[in-house]
Chain A
Amino acid sequence: MTTLAPPTAPVGQHTTTTTTTASGGRSGPVVWMALPALVMFVGFGVIPLVGVLALSFTTWDGIGAIVPSGLTSWRAVLSDPGLPHALWVTFLVMILSWAVQTPLSILIGVFLAAHKRYRGFLAVLYFIPLLLSSAAISITFKALLDPNFGLATGLGIPFLAQDWLGQANLALGVVIFVVSWQYIPFHSLIYQGAVRQIPTSMNEAATIDGAGRVRMFFSITIPQLKYTIITSSTLMVVGSLTFFDLIFVLTAGGPGDATRVLALEMYQTGFQANLMGPASAIAVILVLVGLALALILRRVGGGSASESQMEGA
């Protein structure tokens, strides 16, 4: 490998100081290395992204010919009361699942950050839900929440014997609970890693100043976790737009349309009602919501840790 000739660079290149970073002469071969990823991402990411916009101005049943039809799909989608409803449900799931996951994840993360052997063991168990597929988790909870043969009977708590997936509000609550069940472990681990990086000297200084535990948690731990909270929240919020499989298997959007989030609305319009045009319009809205959220989160947090690192380099 090393016997190959170095890339052809202008002679002047070599005479410049050796501590300079990569320069134009070396970009040539390096650019090629990005090519495979670029081709794949353009082919199955960027082109579909443009394509979804184009398809939203057509009529297509998924099998036959694609016929341009102007704004027909958009009119149909924007006048459908199902759209604001789906947006509202998506928003509810996003906010509520964030509000449940974040405090619990931070608490558990701080708890796990302690270097104690038994907590390492607990961490192993905590992580199990992340190994399961959303399909498996949804199937499990569907059966576990059965009023007669599930948890209610098992624990002997009559209150739990509700028709969990049959009532609109309860079903939404179940979705948020199952989402939290699946993802809290992951976010706890992120927080655990971040808490361990907080310099001990800060807590020592605070102790000398006589700060109590709660005070230290809010004055040191939380501010120090700022970037982690932004990273984790971004993952939660953008991720919540893609809770497709979980809801699809758990409630299929029901009862009625109580848990029909935007991604599910898109799938059902496109692949069940065979209306690819309107489904593409919904997909465009989904993309816009995702981009808007990412921009807002960036504004709020001033860029995540990894992005600011990137810009600073």
Chain B
Amino acid sequence: MVTTLTADTGRSTKPDVVRPSRHWHLRERNWLGGAAGWFWLFVVMLPIYWIVITSFKSQANYFSINPLAPPTDPTLENYRLVIQSDFARYFINSVIVTLGAVVPAVLISFMAAFAVVRGTSRLLRGVNGLFLMGLAIPLQATIIPVYLIIIRLKMYDSLMAIILPSIAFAIPLSVLVLSNFVRDVPNELFESMRMDGATEWGTLWHLAFPLVRPALVTVTIYNGLAIWNGFLLPLVLTQSPSKRTLPLALWTFQGQYSVNVPAVLASVVLTTLPILILYAIGRRQLLSGLTAGFSK
């Protein structure tokens, strides 16, 4: 019934009682949704179009022609300026911070989610309650003590200073999403693993891990984006230019070259490009992964 292909011909004004599938209804006359959809597409794409074309304009061009017209003398000068401003180093810093935080964060969250679902001790319930509380609290509010702790650990102005709090901040939501998925694993599977003499550790990796993989992808992508784009932690916990991550570099670059809008926009394009490339490769997994994790 759901796979009926008559949606496009179902324009008759009277509802057909014989095959009143959801398609016929939700698809055809949703003009309000359609208007919102197309309007928002325009709102989303216009700035993106503008960023890209402007980043190829010379400064003279930027000031002289219509802002929405493509450059009359396309130039790569802006990109050269950005690359000369050490963006390769900032890119590497961002990669180190993101990988260094996301991989451990997801692994330990997965282990905790498994423990929270499989264990019955009161202790574990308390641990889970603690993580859930972390969801309600804006963790940015803890930035001052985090700064103090990082200073005391003698980690101030290092990439490690960004990585450690990033891991902690990622835990609550990751555990929540992952434990929802671990809970869906049929208990019979756990039991049969146990009958075969598997340890909990073995069950974790050989049974739960493959079954929960979609949720692991979701959580990895979500945290990866949040940490790659993170601004407050690098701003507060680092100082020297050599420790800058991309968002922070973007901000300081903008402060330095605020008059040179095309160059600033070239830096926006360059810092986003790696994510866009990953998105182009894995967009199906990303979109379905995100909705799978959060629509539950």
Contacts and interface: CB of A to CB of B under 8 A. Distances in A.
Given A131-B279, A213-B25, A290-B137, A283 B198 contact: no
A200 B175 CA distance: 32
Main secondary structure of the interface of A (DSSP, over half): helix
Nearest to B117: A313
Interface stretch (A78-86, A103-111, A163-171): A103-111
A276 B144 CA distance: 7
Interface string B121-161: 10110010011101111111111111111000000000000
A29 B201 contact: yes
A107 B37 CA distance: 8
B51 interface: yes
A20 to B, nearest CB: 9
Nearest to A286: B141
A291 B138 CA distance: 9
Contacts, number: 370
Contact of A22 (B37, B119, B142): B119
A204 to B, nearest CB: 5
Given A7-B200, A132-B272, A126 B30 contact: no
A312 to B, nearest CB: 10
Given A44-B168, A306-B296, A21 B41 contact: no
A313 to B, nearest CB: 5
B216 interface: no
Contact of B124 (A30, A108, A186): A30
B292 interface: yes
Nearest to A235: B294
A123 B287 CA distance: 8
Nearest to B26: A114
Contacts of B130: 38, 41-42, 46
B62 A40 contact: no
Contacts of A192: 291
A112 B37 contact: yes
A1 B198 CA distance: 7
A270 B146 CA distance: 13
Contacts of A36: 108, 111-112
A37 B25 contact: no
Contacts of A122: 37, 41
Contacts of A110: 26, 30, 33
A31 B44 contact: no
A240 B283 CA distance: 27
Contacts of A141: 47
B279 A33 contact: no
B183 interface: yes
A287 B141 contact: yes
A172 interface: no
A171 B114 CA distance: 46
Interface in A142-180: 143-144, 146, 149-151, 153-155
A48 to B, nearest CB: 4
A203 interface: yes
A133 B231 contact: yes
B81 interface: no
A105 to B, nearest CB: 9
Interface stretch (B71-79, B84-92, B261-269): B261-269
Which of A140, A238, A271, A279: most chain B Cβ within 10 A? A140
Contacts of A271: 236
B62 A203 contact: no
A127 to B, nearest CB: 6
A210 B15 contact: yes
B236 A134 contact: no
A243 B294 CA distance: 21
B43 interface: yes
B281 interface: no
Nearest to B229: A133
B215 interface: no
A263 B232 CA distance: 11
B144 A38 contact: no
6 contacts: A1-B202, A22-B190, A30-B200, A34-B119, A51-B145, A200-B21
Interface of A: 1-2, 4, 6-7, 18-19, 21-24, 26-27, 29-34, 36-38, 40-49, 51-52, 55, 62, 104, 107-108, 110-116, 119, 122-136, 139-141, 143-144, 146, 149-151, 153-155, 181, 184-186, 189-190, 192-195, 197-198, 200, 203-204, 207-208, 210, 213, 216, 228, 231, 238, 241-242, 244-245, 248-249, 263, 266-267, 270-271, 276, 279-280, 283-284, 286-287, 290-291, 293-295, 305-307, 309-310, 313
